[in-house]
Amino acid sequence: MRIERAVDAYLRHVSLERGLSEHTQEAYRRDLAVYAEWLAERGVADTSGVMTAMVAEFAAERASAHPPPASSSLARLQSSVRGLHRYLVREGTETEDPSGRLRPPKAARRLPKALTVTQIEELLDAAGPAPGDDVPAEPAAVRDRALIELLYATGARVSEVVQLDVDDLAHGDVVRVRGKGDKERIVPVGSYARAAVDAYLTRVRPALAARGHSSPRLFLGVRGAPLSRQSAWLVIQQAAERAGLEAHVSPHTFRHSFATHLLQGGADVRVVQELLGHASVATTQIYTHVSVEALRDVYATSHPRAR
């Protein structure tokens, strides 16, 4: 089969049968475009012409590129290539998998960065006034405060929050979140976030919705269309700049902070796993190491014989 046809067939399989997110599918598409171009430069136009040594050479070249790719990007690239060749074998298009000996790189273990509770509060105040504050606020500021309050209150991914519908909040003090693989989970919403969202729903969203086409999405842009992930990212960056936070702040920072603060407050790791929507508790346990680091810092600065 021609390389281009094989890639197209695999991407259709990924989209229709595996239910991966559009973001992940686009990453696979970019990775395999790089792979197909690399093969074409070596005169390989058909999948039967791909040899084990070629796949190994491709992986080695990508690993030694300048600037060097992140280990996570390299691992995803190799996963895309392995997935393509395994698919071709399963479908009977090829009999051998030339990527079978490819081993993913070891990812550098980096602890997620969490903000302190004080930094979270400073960032929220920079986004917009709290409900009940006797301070005039622009409509966008009311929305932005609600957005960031909800990110921190639920630990949801930014992609999950911008996909929320108004009806997903119609359950009192909980919100229905759709995660990876379209799996749903119910997450409690604290009083601060609920008040901020209620202020946005009553004071701002009706006017925004009137400019658009009656979208059910909770968060809307200035023209009434659903707020995009990129726009939400910009809201967070601008609030962090106004707050004067030197630490890098991204939408995922709130997810890290949510998990870390819960565990430091005594929450059970399996409860946090459920709230975050992790399939495995091992994924959640990285946050327990963050808490250990915090304990070490306190010990180092407080104990007379720590140094």
Per-residue pLDDT band at 301 (split at 50, 70, 90): confident
246 — pLDDT class (breaks 50, 70, 90) = confident
Please report, for residues 102, 118, 175, the alpha-carbon distance to residue 247 in angstroms, rounded to integers and kept in the order given: 37, 13, 29
Q: What is the rounded average pLDDT of the residues 236-262?
A: 90
Cα–Cα distance for residue pair 294/305, rounded to 1 Å = 18
For the segment 228-247, the average pLDDT, to the nearest whole number, is: 91
Contact 1, 30 (CB under 8 A): no
In this predicted structure, which of 81-90, 137-146, 151-160, 295-304 has the lowest mean pLDDT? 295-304
* Tokens read off for 11: 């991407």
pLDDT > 90 in the chain, percent: 55
Strands in 63-200 per DSSP E: 174-178, 184-188
Q: Which residues pair with 165 in a beta bridge?
A: 217
**Mean pLDDT calculated for residue range 238-255:** 89
Whose tokens are 């500021």? That residue is: 141
Helix, strand, coil percentages, rounded to 5, for the chain: 60, 5, 35
| Residue whose token pair is 């491709």 | 58
Residue 2: beta bridge partners? Answer: 46
The tens digit of pLDDT for each residue in 252-297 reads 899 999 999 998 888 888 888 989 988 888 888 878 877 777 777 7
pLDDT score, position 236: 94
Q: Which domains does the chain have, with CATH numbers?
A: 3-90 (1.10.150.130), 117-301 (1.10.443.10)
Q: Can the peptide bond before residue 98 be classed as cis, meaning omega within 30 degrees of 0?
A: no
Query: Which residues, 6 or more positions from 225, have their beta carbon under 8 angstroms from its beta carbon?
Result: 212, 213, 215
Burial class (CB in 10 A: 0-12, 13-18, 19+), 41: exposed
d(CA 134, CA 116): 26
What pLDDT does 58 receive? 93
pTM, two decimal places: 0.64
Average pLDDT of the residues in 143-152: 96
What is the mean predicted confidence (pLDDT) over 115-127? 94
Q: How long is the chain?
A: 307
pLDDT at 299: 72
Which residue among the candidates 13, 176, 180, 229 is catalytic per the annotation?
Answer: 180
Active-site residue flag, 287? yes
Q: Which of 210, 183, 190 has its CA nearest to residue 146?
A: 190
> Which of 145, 157, 194, 217 is labelled catalytic?
157
Check 85, 143, 255, 261 and give the catalytic one: 255
Average pLDDT score over the chain: 88
**Is the CB of residue 188 less than 8 Å from the CB of residue 174?**
yes
Q: How many whole angstroms separate alpha carbon 227 and alpha carbon 225?
A: 6
pLDDT of residue 284: 85
The active-site residue, picked from 29, 203, 252, 289, is: 252
* Residue among 245, 272, 294 at smallest CA distance from 120: 245
| Phi, psi at 116, each rounded to 5° | -75, 165
Block residue for tokens 């302190």: 116
Confidence of residue 111 (pLDDT cuts 50, 70, 90): low
Q: Does the active-site annotation cover 255?
A: yes
| CB neighbourhood size of 299 (10 A) | 10
Higher pLDDT, 91 or 181: 91
* Residue 278 is among the residues annotated as catalytic for this protein: yes
306 has pLDDT over 70: no
pLDDT at 142 over 70: yes
Q: Return the pLDDT at 24.
A: 82
* DSSP symbol at 220: B
Res 196: pLDDT: 94
Catalytic residue among 85, 194, 205, 278: 278
pLDDT at 45: 92
Convert the pLDDT of each residue in 156-185 to its tens digit: 999 999 999 999 997 778 999 998 777 889
Q: How far apart are CA 283 and CA 260, in angstroms?
A: 13
Higher pLDDT: 15 or 3? It is: 3
Residue 198 Cα to chain centre, angstroms: 25
Per the annotation, the verdict on 252 as an active-site residue is: yes
User: Helix 286-302 to helix 251-264 angle, to the nearest 10 degrees?
Assistant: 70
